[in-house]
Homo-oligomer: A and B are copies of this chain.
Amino acid sequence: MRALEEKICREGQILPGNILKVGNFLNQQIDTAFLCEIGREIARLYRDAGVTRILTMESSGIAIATAAAIEMGVPFVFAKKHPAINQNGALLKAKVHSYTHGNDYFATVGAEYLPAGERVLIVDDFLANGEALNGMISLLEQAGCEIAGVAIAIEKQFQGGGDKLRARGIRIESLARIVSMSETEGVRFAD
């Protein structure tokens, strides 16, 4: 998605530790019109995939999932990284290692929100090592859902998570794929 690549070059900021900061438009301050463009692109890519619901992870996936779900006319669900007292039923859980925070957490979602047989599209803002995505895949496997595929705004392809999952046969569509990035040379995208 050319518009996203241009936006990353114009407004993104490269921080030490392979962090790409896009809080200016994607995951803290949200450019609403642009978010809707992302939603439309995800809907276009998966329009024939029989998607019946969307799964994302709190917090930064929620806005993108909302936009995609509105375009696709399906409900969405988000997995929680932090336990909440209003989770009273059976929970699905998956352990996730966070490289960015240097800790492990359990992603949880109420089992009632992922009924068996649903055909689920996973949506998230970033894909790097694939840890969060593996957690969501595990939740869907536990639930007995089909995985329609994955839609990611920004894939840091050089970190390898996406290609490992493609090798398992999972369809992954990333709207911008970064093959290298550095504070001196900026961001380079896949062709």
A88 beta carbon closer than 8 Å to chain B = yes
Q: How many residues of A contact B (CB 8 A)?
A: 42
Determine if A86 and B32 form an interchain contact, defined as CB atoms under 8 angstroms apart.
Answer: no
Does A58 make an interface contact (CB < 8 A)?
yes
Q: Is A70 an interface residue (CB 8 A)?
A: yes
Q: Which residues of B contact A63 (CB under 8 A)?
A: 62-63, 66
The answer on a CB contact under 8 Å between A28 and B78 is yes
Minimum CB–CB distance for A85 against chain B, Å = 5
Proximity bits, A23-56, B CB within 8 Å = 1, else 0: 1100011111101100000000000000000000
Q: Which residues of chain B have C-beta atoms less than 8 A from A33's C-beta?
A: 73
Check if A110 is an interface residue, CB within 8 A of chain B.
yes
Inside 8 A of A67's CB, which chain B residues have their CB?
Answer: 66, 70
A122-167 residues with Cβ-Cβ distance < 8 A to B are none
CA distance A74 to B33 in the complex (A): 8
Measured between C-beta atoms, what is the minimum distance from A106 to chain B in Å? 15
Report Cα–Cα, A87/B100, bound state, in Å.
12
- Residue numbers of A with Cβ under 8 A of B are 13, 15, 17, 19, 21, 23-24, 28-33, 35-36, 58-59, 62-63, 66-67, 69-70, 73-78, 80, 82, 84-88, 100-101, 109-110, 112-113
Number of chain copies forming the complex:
2
Residues of B contacting A59 in the complex (Cβ-Cβ under 8 angstroms): 58-59, 62, 78, 80
Check A32/B110 contact, CB under 8 A, given A80-B59, A88-B15: no
Residue pairs across A and B with Cβ atoms less than 8 A apart, 14 shown, are A23-B86, A23-B110, A24-B113, A28-B110, A29-B77, A30-B75, A32-B66, A32-B74, A58-B59, A59-B78, A63-B63, A66-B66, A67-B70, A82-B82
- A109 is contacted by which of B28, B100, B113 (Cβ under 8 Å)? B28
